[in-house]
């Protein structure tokens, strides 16, 4: 089962790469043909050279983001990379939409040809020509609009929604919560992704918003950076400005694994007077009562000897039965196991809320649905097989990944207020 899943993931990655490159070749050919309309051979040569250079640069940026991470993250390169990333994914969806319009036009033509086998009474050549020209113009404009829409949306999401931080206030009924802890407040940040598109001054702004919420404890649920070379120290230095009576706690995310920065993140937390929990627990004491705080590194699907190994497999000794348990786990898919183990509340991130959410005819399209059922907000499952409920809150994150833009999903600062569960 494990090797098959690994092979499927590799096949999906290969398919995505092929489609991305196909989209770039489509736009390259379109630009190449369009330049023929320019009268000056010198201008044609110059502009075609620029088009080839742009295509090669897109391939380099794609290789850097997916595999090698060799390009510098500062200076002029940063802004050229920004333009490339703002183009790569939206241009892929623009390519798909243009092809969809072309497909509809092809079906329309085939239907028109079938219809013409039984011609109307007396159509004139001029009438047929006018209809054909009108149809072609309609589909040409439709293809242009379809191709422009994702690119315009990406620019809007980059310029506006990417930095439109929003406070989400949520009340969570917690099983076994003592009355003295009713109203206990937790502020949560997640998925900072410090770097080119999340500079320290923006983290500072989110921290200031969090500090204004009056929480008893602050937590950060992973993905402090995106890749090796990102300024992790700057990120955690800004997070150390979080103010709460019970301090700031955190857990690692998957990007700390990719950047080989799990231990460094833990050391920096300690350096700045915070604590990052790695398969550890600690008591939070307030009003004479305790909450057992548990933190884990990123939980991955694992296969051992052909069998599926559950997440959170080593944390049973960390769970307490005499007080409520609060789990910090970056991956929301660990919630199934957390509920089985009797953990009353889990906090996660990872999904960015999908980062892009589009509503079409009362249906929401969200790419996070491909990796989890827990996209954003509050969820519940039976608590350890009982009638009581275990809850999960999935934070939408602050930063971005892939495309430096958000659309329909604001960056989030969360204030969770705990309530006794009836």
Mean pLDDT for the stretch of residues 135-154: 79
Take residue 46 and report the two structure tokens written for it.
């110059």
Over the stretch 276-310, which tens digit does the pLDDT of each residue have? 999 999 999 999 999 999 999 999 876 444 445 67
Over the stretch 57-81, which tens digit does the pLDDT of each residue have? 888 877 776 665 667 666 666 677 7
The CATH architecture of the domain made up of 167-420 is 4-Layer Sandwich (3.60)
What percent of the chain stands above pLDDT 70?
A: 84
Over the stretch 330-339, which tens digit does the pLDDT of each residue have? 999 999 999 9
Q: What is the mean pLDDT of the chain?
A: 85
**Element (H or E) spanning 303, and its range?**
strand 302-304
For residues 284 and 273, give the distance between their C-alpha atoms in angstroms, rounded to a whole number. Answer: 16
In the chain, which segments carry CATH 3.60.21.10?
Answer: 167-420
Query: Residue 125 has what pLDDT?
Result: 55
For residue 361, is pLDDT > 60? no
For residue 126, is pLDDT > 60? no
For residues 314 and 324, give the distance between their C-alpha atoms in angstroms, rounded to a whole number. Answer: 19
Question: How much helix, strand and coil, in percent to the nearest 5, is found in the chain?
Answer: 50, 20, 30
Query: Residue 266's pLDDT band (boundaries 50, 70, 90)?
Result: very high
For residues 106 and 95, give the distance between their C-alpha atoms in angstroms, rounded to a whole number. Answer: 16
Among 13-27, 101-115, 295-309, whose mean pLDDT is lowest? 295-309
Query: Residue 24 has what pLDDT?
Result: 83
Nearest CA to 286 out of 246, 321, 327 is that of: 246
For residues 254 and 276, give the distance between their C-alpha atoms in angstroms, rounded to a whole number. Answer: 15
Query: Residue 303 has what pLDDT?
Result: 47
For residues 249 and 186, give the distance between their C-alpha atoms in angstroms, rounded to a whole number. Answer: 11
Q: Of 116-120, 129-133, 223-227, give the range with the top mean pLDDT.
A: 223-227
Note the residue count of the chain.
422
SS (H, E, C) 93-147: HHHHHHHHHHHHHHHHHHHHHHHHCCCCCCCCHHHHHHHHHHHHHHHHHHHHHHH
For residue 1, is pLDDT > 50? no
Query: Residue 147 has what pLDDT?
Result: 78
Mean pLDDT for the stretch of residues 27-32: 86
For residues 351 and 329, give the distance between their C-alpha atoms in angstroms, rounded to a whole number. Answer: 12
Query: Residue 271 has what pLDDT?
Result: 97
In a 10 Å sphere around its CB, with 0-12 CB exposed, 13-18 middle and 19+ buried, how is residue 54 labelled?
middle
Query: Residue 29 has what pLDDT?
Result: 86
Query: Residue 2 has what pLDDT?
Result: 47
**Element (H or E) spanning 410, and its range?**
none
Query: Residue 131 has what pLDDT?
Result: 53
Long-range contacts at 107-114 (CB < 8 A, ≥ 24 apart): 108/135, 108/139
For residue 189, CA distances in Å to 131, 165, 204, 415 come to 58, 11, 12, 9
pTM: 0.81
């Amino acid at each position: 089962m494990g090797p098959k899943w690994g092979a499927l993931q590799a096949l999906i990655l290969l398919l995505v790469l092929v489609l991305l490159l196909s989209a770039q070749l489509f736009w390259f050919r379109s630009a190449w043909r369009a330049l023929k309309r320019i009268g000056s051979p010198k201008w044609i040569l110059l502009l075609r050279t620029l088009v080839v250079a742009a295509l090669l640069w897109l391939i380099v940026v794609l290789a850097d983001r997916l595999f090698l991470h060799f390009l510098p993250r500062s200076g002029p390169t940063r802004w050229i990379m920004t333009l490339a990333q703002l183009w790569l994914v939206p241009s892929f969806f623009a390519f798909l939409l243009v092809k969809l319009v072309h497909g509809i036009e092809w079906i329309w033509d085939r239907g028109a040809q079938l219809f013409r086998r039984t011609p109307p009474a007396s159509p004139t050549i001029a009438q047929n020509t006018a209809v054909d020209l009108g149809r072609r113009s309609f589909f040409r404009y439709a293809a242009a609009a379809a191709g422009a829409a994702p690119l315009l949306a990406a620019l809007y999401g980059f310029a506006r929604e990417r930095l439109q931080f929003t406070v989400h206030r949520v009340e969570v009924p917690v099983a076994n919560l003592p009355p003295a802890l009713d109203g206990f407040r937790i502020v949560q940040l997640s998925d900072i992704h410090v770097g080119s598109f999340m500079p320290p001054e923006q983290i500072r702004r989110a921290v200031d918003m969090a500090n204004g919420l009056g929480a008893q404890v602050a937590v950060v649920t992973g993905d402090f950076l995106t890749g090796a070379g990102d300024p992790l120290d700057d990120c955690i230095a800004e997070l150390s400005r979080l103010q709460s009576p019970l301090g700031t706690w955190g857990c690692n995310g998957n990007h700390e694994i990719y950047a080989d920065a799990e231990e460094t993140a833990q050391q920096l937390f300690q350096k700045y007077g915070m604590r990052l929990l790695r398969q550890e627990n600690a008591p939070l004491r307030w009003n004479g009562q305790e909450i057992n705080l548990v933190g884990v590194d990123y939980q991955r699907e694992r296969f051992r000897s052909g069998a599926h190994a559950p997440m959170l497999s080593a944390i049973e000794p960390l769970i307490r039965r005499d007080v409520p348990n609060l789990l910090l786990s970056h991956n929301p898919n660990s919630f199934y196991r957390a509920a089985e183990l009797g953990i009353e509340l889990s906090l996660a991130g990872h999904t960015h809320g999908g980062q892009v959410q589009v509503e079409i005819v009362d249906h929401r399209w969200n790419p996070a649905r491909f990796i989890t059922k827990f996209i954003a907000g509050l969820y519940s499952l039976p608590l350890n097989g009982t009638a009581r409920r275990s809850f999960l809150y999935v934070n939408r994150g602050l930063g971005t990944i892939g495309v430096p833009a958000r659309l329909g999903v604001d960056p989030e600062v969360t204030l969770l207020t705990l309530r006794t569960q009836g």
